[in-house]
Amino acid sequence: MVILQVYNRVLQGLRPTASLIGAVVLIASLSAGCQDTTVPEKHLLHMTLASKAFVAGGKIPQRNTCDGFGYSPPLEWTLGPPDTACFAITCTDPSTSGGEFNHWVLYNIPPMVTHLPEGVTPTLNAPPGATFLANDFEHLAYGGPCPPPGSTHHYVFRIYALDGPVNLTSGASAAVINNLLRAHSLAVGQLEGLYARK
């Protein structure tokens, strides 16, 4: 109503009063305040991720680290939601002083695949169509835990059920990669393991 009065006065060549202008500003402010401009956090379904090599919160076997063969551990997970187009797997170490360290990124895994054997590489046991991204060791493969001696590091394996194929950029930080995957995720699961060197 007040806005219409101002508009009519302008059309009639009359100057709107200061009180009228103030009312318009106040109403506009209140209207903007009534709008919810926050973006709700995306609700993600939970998936189960497990390994026959170690239990959640347990020690990662030496054979799956830089002190052993450096094989990626065997992993298995539950089916994703019906709209799952593909899966992605990551392994990061959030314990490093320089920020989260990326040990493994394998994405565009077909949606019917629900496990990986031990020792997956670009040329061995990789699911058809799956793509490796260079890790922070600058290798297109899994890079086993290799912490400095004396401290226990945490290694977080994650499975993402994605709503479509993704294109990731080599050189991106682990945080950027995980945020991008999360943005395209329908469901997420994780498994944490520990490793220390003397």
What's the pTM?
0.78
**Domain 45-196: which topology?**
Phosphatidylethanolamine-binding Protein (3.90.280)
Cα distance between residue 20 and residue 5, in whole Å: 8
Q: Which of 179, 182, 72 is nearest to 132 (CA)?
A: 72
For the chain, give every residue range classified as CATH 3.90.280.10: 45-196
pLDDT digits (tens, 9 = 90+) for 133-153: 999 999 999 999 999 998 899
User: What letter would DSSP give residue 38?
Assistant: P
Number of alpha carbons in the 13 Å side-chain half-sphere of residue 175: 4
pLDDT digits (tens, 9 = 90+) for 45-79: 999 999 999 999 999 999 999 999 999 999 999 99
